[in-house]
Structure 1
Amino acid sequence: MSRAQRIDTHQHLVPPDYAKWMHEKGIRPGGVDLPAWSPSAAVKFMDGHGIRTGILSLSTPGVYFGDVAEARRWARDVNEYTASVVSDRPDRFGFFATLTLPDVDGALAEAEYALDVLHADGIVLLANNDGRYLGDPGFAPLLQFLHDRQVAVFVHPGELPAPEVPGIPTFTADFLLDTTRTAISLILSGALAEYPGIKFILAHAGGFVPYISYRILLTMMSTKNKAQQAWTLLDQKHQVPKQLAVLRQFYYDIALSASPAALPSLLEVADPDHITYGSDFPFAPPPAVSFLNKQFERYPLDGSLRAAIDRGNSEHLFPRLKS
């Protein structure tokens, strides 16, 4: 498959009014300056990096800062702006709609509007919302709605509900831990099993999830007070624990993660049909994306798997983009 046919499930936008709002608040998402963005710049980037279509999403910090009415206004503004970008170039763009969590009522209303009126391709949710992770029982009404609608949900990390470490940008490691925490929250709360209709896409190869998969398994077993017995039995049978299959329910993008260090863990844990291409543009500058793309292209993969990651798996998630 041609590189020019990639579908990028991890591509951000920075609407001009939203950028002004962030500057007024003095926010540097992930500990970096807010990047410049425009639809034309995004198309130019995609043309230079083998990407046919970018699924746009708002990055952290989203729109909620403690004021429910403000969050609802900004979610609507961002979603309508993004829908207009997609309407102008439906072949080059799609979008994940922004919601208002932890405001569940607002999130439900906005999700319905975005999917039914704006024809969003899916929903973006931050891994934690005012310190509450996605397995929080209070979020159940939204998860039920998304399950019933069989929605693709892009899970993007945000700032940890913990102090920053001076001198270390939060995107370096905190973002990865945030994604990992919410994945475990969805598993241990039972939400992943309760709402299988939701197609969760974890950013950045799932954070630390693939690397610590057996530690997650140990946690799952420990909660049932049968950990020692279970591990002894598995050791005697030399089996790969079937409980690891829960991690194959998630989708994983390879944004900033297509390295010879990260890919082996991801490929060991993820379902091959559940891995998608991601760039993280414009927060990841084009030279960084070029470097990671080269690492991905050099990595020894079966041709059919590479084609699936570049495009095929995303076509199943977003049928309107089928070529």
Structure 2
Amino acid sequence: MSTDPATPRTGGAQGYLRIATEEAFATPDLFDAWARTMERTDVDPGFAGLAGFYTTSQAERPRTIKRRLLDLGEERIADMDAAGIDRALLLLTAPGVQWLDRGEGVALAASTNDQLADACRRHPDRFSGLAAVAPQDPAAAAEELRRGVTQLGLHGGVINGHTQGRYLSDPEFWPIFEAAEDLDVPIYIHPTGLPANMLEPFQEAGLDGAIYGFGVDTGLHLLRIITAGVFDRFPRLRIVVGHAGEALPFWLFRLDHMHAATVRAERYESMKPTQRTISEYMRENVYITTSGMAWEPAIRFCQQVLGADRVMYAMDYPYEYEVSEVLTHDNLDIDAETKRMLFQTNAERVFGLNVPAPA
């Protein structure tokens, strides 16, 4: 570890601990399942564009990321130490288990959660986790979320985007939301490969991944959930999204205006009145993280329009691993209490973490 005084250190000497809230991992079984899927003649192109790259490419970046995804011990902790990250909230990387047949997806989610819980038990002062579920079987997904929280000690659930082209706005999936609300835990909606029916214009320009397509699809997913009335049905439900809210905070004025106009016009059967505005749901039911968005104007804007209590730090390891981005957050021109909320106390509250206070 560097002795450079500008290098972030763990331990909280700066007045807060750094909790990173969108840190990905994978298991060998998951990579094996992805590889088997890639052998099919009918493999989904969005899956192939994402999982196929990390399954088959021999370039340096995917090989390094794959190695780091699989490590739930020494290398990951060493990387955390080098970047001053005190605790990582671990979640299953995209595309997770949602591309698999129903039975295999359910079984792999359970075994993955067992391995995650074991890693958290081995490193209780460094790791916490979110339970993976297989929404292709909504009832089983709800039960796995309950098991993950009540038996394994996990702190919510993660769903990697759409499930074979279907979004959580479909009431078929709402047992998952019901379980999350009953358990009082959040659901983290993480990006995944684009669905087949929207992939081509993004992919042909190289814009289907984290550069743009991920944010477009995940922002769409959250908007569909809001406008479908999910938060009216489950008013205590909490949803977390990354990457500075997948751009939605920057569109709130237009979203509110055009949503109201569209409802009044009765143009779409699918768009019904909701009890509150989109911006109100964003401020009351949604939390965002700064994963991949280490940019002061964006972070401060999100704190201004959503509330400082809604924004949490994330690194997005191992896809983003830049110590300079940690320093960007450390050096934000915000007061000490707001910075502590960003790095530590918001995450403790939202995910129910029990983290010792810094000395």
Query: Where does 1:46-195 land on structure 2 (aligned, <5 Å)?
Result: 46-161=80-195, 162-164=198-200, 165-166=203-204, 167-195=206-234
Aligned residues: 307
Structure 2 distance, partners of 1:223, 1:148, is 33
State the identity as a percent.
Answer: 23
- So what's the TM-score if we normalise by structure 1? 0.87
Q: Residue 16 of structure 1: CA displacement?
A: 2.6
SS in 1 for 2:23: strand
Question: Which piece of structure 1 moves more, 1-10 or 194-203?
Answer: 1-10
Q: 1:29 aligns with which of 44, 47, 50?
A: 50
Q: Residue 66 of structure 1: CA displacement?
A: 4.5
Q: Residue 169 of structure 1: CA displacement?
A: 4.8
| Alignment partner, residue 282 of structure 2 | 247
Structure 2 distance, partners of 1:242, 1:152, is 21
| Alignment partner, residue 307 of structure 1 | 340
Gaps of 5+ in 1: 228-240
SS in 2 for 1:64: coil
- So what's the TM-score if we normalise by structure 2? 0.79
**Contact map agreement 2:91 2:132 (CA 8 A) in 1:** yes
- Residues 66 and 17 of structure 1: CA distance in aligned 2, closer, same or farther (over 3 Å): closer
Q: Residue 308 of structure 1: CA displacement?
A: 0.6
Gaps of 5+ in 2: 1-11, 39-47, 55-61, 267-275
- Is 2:303 the counterpart of 1:276? no
Q: Residue 84 of structure 1: CA displacement?
A: 0.6
Q: Residue 318 of structure 1: CA displacement?
A: 3.4
Question: Which piece of structure 1 moves more, 19-28 or 195-204?
Answer: 19-28
| Alignment partner, residue 235 of structure 1 | none
| Alignment partner, residue 230 of structure 1 | none
Deviations 1:32-66 (A, max 9, x none): 63521212121111111221111100121111224
- Residues 242 and 99 of structure 1: CA distance in aligned 2, closer, same or farther (over 3 Å): closer
| Aligned AA (1:190) | G
| Aligned AA (1:172) | I
SS in 2 for 1:125: strand
Q: CA RMSD in A?
A: 2.3
| Alignment partner, residue 8 of structure 1 | 20
Q: 1:214 aligns with which of 219, 231, 253?
A: 253
| Aligned AA (1:133) | Y
